[in-house]
Amino acid sequence: MDRMIYTALNALSNQRDQRVTQAQNLANQNVPGYRRDLNNEGKAFFANAMNTAMVRAYQTETGPAGFSPDSGPLQQTGNTLDMAVVGEGYFYVQPDGVGDPALSRRGDMHRNADGTLVNGAGDILLDTAMLPVKLPLYKELQITDIGEVWVQPVDAEAGEEPLLLATLATVVPDEGLQLLKSEDAQIRAVDGTVPAPNQLAKLSQGVLEGSNVNTVEELVNSIEMQRSFELGIRMVSTASELDEAGARLLRSPE
């Protein structure tokens, strides 16, 4: 009976991790550019005893889970500083202004008090030299589809040509490069670095990309997970009843 119980408990443990992932996705369903976390399927291992493999097998995680690269829905906002990556690609950001560079799809940008361009999470947008993008006070601002930031300062003369202030760094990673979310929830390569900018991503101004979390799908999966959890608890309870019944059969007559 212990095999049956531990098998059920192993399944319940994996379901707990999946519920955490679902809760994380649902909590970020309205975050612009958020990438849905995927469940870590892990791998099955056979338990060992006395240097010999046993028939008892467990499923355990085999490293950090991935995320869905699918694009989220695009919405026209008309806001000059709203940017979206159309198709594949990422912006470069510096998390909280002090962390290591990371990749992001979040495009709800604004100019903070000192003129630094940041997104809605407070991450600083970086240019092709991996330096923060600084915006002066401006009359007009235009960001091209390759990331060039053209501004017309507030003190510019009438008819004066706009100035090329900076170029937002973007990248479309190589096909073989594996990206994961680091401990700070930022997207980087497996070794914690980011690829060099190649400016292959296409940007759209005045457009905001939403989260790629499918709320209906997550809720349906949550219901199915709850049913599986109840079956696992019932399996543990049944194993306990069978074990007690077997013990009664082996008990000596009174």
Specify whether 100 is located in the same domain as 63. Answer: no
**φ, ψ (nearest 5 deg) of residue 58:** -130, 145
Residue 114 neighbours by CB distance under 10 Å: 8
Specify whether 33 is located in the same domain as 91. Answer: no
Domain of 37, in residue numbers: 2-67+213-250
Q: What is the pLDDT of residues 9-42, one digit of tens each?
A: 677 777 777 788 888 889 999 999 999 988 776 6
Residue 57: pLDDT band (50, 70, 90) is: low
Specify whether 168 is located in the same domain as 80. Answer: yes
pLDDT on residue 128:
94
H helices then E strands: how many in the chain?
2, 17
Specify whether 205 is located in the same domain as 82. Answer: yes
Length of the chain: 254
Specify whether 177 is located in the same domain as 229. Answer: no
Residue 208: pLDDT band (50, 70, 90) is: very high
Specify whether 96 is located in the same domain as 203. Answer: yes
Name which residue leads in pLDDT, 235 or 133.
133
Q: Which of 10-19, 158-167, 243-252 has the highest mean pLDDT?
A: 158-167
Specify whether 167 is located in the same domain as 151. Answer: yes
pLDDT on residue 106:
94
Domain total of the chain: 2
Integer Cα distance of 194 and 118 in angstroms: 19
Residue-wise DSSP of 200-226: --EEEETEEE-----HHHHHHHHHHHH
